[in-house]
Structure formats: structure tokens, C-alpha cells
Amino acid sequence: MPVMNIIQAVNDALRIEMRRDQRVVVLGEDVGKFGGVFRATSGLFEEFGPDRVIDTPLAEAGIIGSAVGMALYGLRPVPEIQFADFIYPAYDQIVNELAKFRYRSGGQYPAPVVIRTPYGGGIRGGHYHSQSPEAYFVHTPGLKVVIPSNPYDAKGLLLSAMRGEDPVIFMEPKRVYRAARGEVPEGDYTVPLGQAKIVREGKGITVLAYGAMLHTVIEAAAKAAEAGIDAEVIDLRTLLPLDLETVLTSVRKTGRVCIVHEAPRTCGYGAELAALIAEKALTSLEAPIERVAGFDTPFPYTLENEYLPSPERVMASMRRAVEFQ
């Protein structure tokens, strides 16, 4: 079985689906001859040509608006927003058009648009290349939000997303684009949306994460184990639809929860997770729900490592929960 990184897995998924379904088209800034700024679309232009791998102007609203029109006329576009920070000019097209046209047409017009975009910090990109805007899209009815943490899931989840009838925001953790490596089956397979994965079983505390933060949490859990803290680590994989049952089953077993994400804390996705757990598993909790997140500031350049949750911050949060009386 070949070993891939996330970039290679994404590229493989795109290639498989474009060969399988002639309606799939890729569009975005530099996705064609250049192969994308991170090389996620490398080689697709040469195989599928300029009619299916389309270099666009630097105009995000135009990219998504074009994709919406393509979907309405029967294509299955996969637009790329070069960095998630640049998705805001297309926000109106996404939340007021794309997220709504299947609903408002009574299902007559599906919305098979998968918006790929790298997100998050860790590459010293500063204010405009490091944001984590997932909560904006989870808040929007009609969208699905998917964030893989590893190559196997990246390929399988992307194939599932491209075969659905609803719009998907597919956010790729660029900090581990090449650092996260693993075995990826050749050929076609899918990972279902809405299915979390328990990556480490434990009885002492439930730790929830997704994307690049999963790797931080795994490191923290290993250090915590040396201190006698037995953490159960769950990779959410899809934020919407959320596999709430897996989360609640774990919380009812451990009685303690730590939620980790790199987006700002206030109104971040962790707040929704905490609310759901409090609503549905309050009597199982033995300590306040802990959240480890980015700070409520613009993403800093020189203080990037202080901003991002670290294994030390996560472990300290786990310890507070476990030691709470």
C-alpha cells in the first residue's frame, strides 16, 4: 500500500473522480498549469485539459459564483480557494446562493459543489494566511463542513464529498499537508461524512479535535499518559454533519471533556460542542468542560507558536479537568 501525504491524497482523489465522472471540473487561482500553490492539483491540467482544469482570475466571488452556475447546469465543480483567509469575498455567494438553492428549489436543483481550501496556522503566514473560519460555515444551514487530519481520511472524505448532492466546505490543514503521512489504498474508496473516529481509547477524559489539532492532541495524550491521565481522543472529521452519538458515548464513559481547536475561542466550534454536551450529557459530567483554542485576536505573525494550542496547553487543560473535585 503506498504511503502518501495529504497533498498527494487530495490529488489522487481528484484524479480518480475526474476519470470516473466527466462532469467534475476543477477551477481556481493557479490550479491549472502551475498545479496549485501547494501542488494539490499538479498534473490534472496535463491529463484533463483546460476545459476541466480552469485557471481563474484572482476573484473569489467570481470563482464560487461560476461554480454555482456550473452546478445549476449539471456539472460537479470543485473550486479551490487558495487560502481560507481569502474566502470572505465569496461569502455572499456561498451563504446566500450556494447553501440555499437546493432548499429553495424544493430539491429540484442539487448543489454538488465542493469548495476546497487550506486553513489554519503553522506556516508563519501571519494575519492573512492562517485563519480558521470553520464556525462561519457550520452556522450556515445547507452546508456541510469537512476537515480531515490525515491522508487516508483526506482521500476518502473528499471522494464522498464529491459524490454528494449538497455543497461541502472541505478544509485542509495546511500545517500538516506534508508532515502527516500514512498508508492510503490505491484506487477508489470512501469515508462516510458524519462519522467520527476514536483514534485513542481511554477512560479518564474525552478529548475532541479535528484537522491539524488532532496531532497536537495525540502528542498531549501521550505525555498525559505518563502522568497517569488516560485520554480518549476523538477525531471529529466532519463538523457538520456531526457524529454526536460517538461524542456522547465517550463523554458518558469518561465524565470529563476537553475540546481543542485553533480558531478563536469566542463562538468557535468548541462552544457548540460544549453546548451540545451540556444539553445531552450533563448528568454524566464530573468537571466543567474545558476548551483550548486560539486567542480572541487577529492571528499573529511573530507570536504564532504562542497563539496555537500546544501539547503543553492541552495537557494542562486535561489535568484541570481530571483533578477537578
List the catalytic residues. 129
Q: Which contiguous run of DSSP H or E holds residue 238?
A: strand 238-240
pTM for the predicted model, two decimal places: 0.96
Question: Which domains are seen in the chain, by residue range?
Answer: 3-183 (3.40.50.970), 197-323 (3.40.50.920)
pLDDT value for 125: 83
Phi, psi (degrees; rounded to nearest 5) at 203: -125, -10
Residue with cell 477525531: 235
Residue 118 DSSP SS3 = strand
pLDDT value for 227: 93
Positions in the chain whose pLDDT score sits under 50 = none
pLDDT value for 126: 85
pLDDT value for 127: 87
Contact 293, 317 (CB under 8 A): no
pLDDT value for 225: 96
Phi, psi (degrees; rounded to nearest 5) at 156: -65, -40
C-alpha closest to that of 289 among 263, 261, 320: 320
Helices (H) then strands (E): counts for the chain: 12, 14
* Cα distance between residue 153 and residue 141, in whole Å: 24
Q: Which contiguous run of DSSP H or E holds residue 69?
A: helix 60-72
Render pLDDT for 81-101 as a digit per residue (tens, 0 to 9): 999 999 999 999 999 999 999
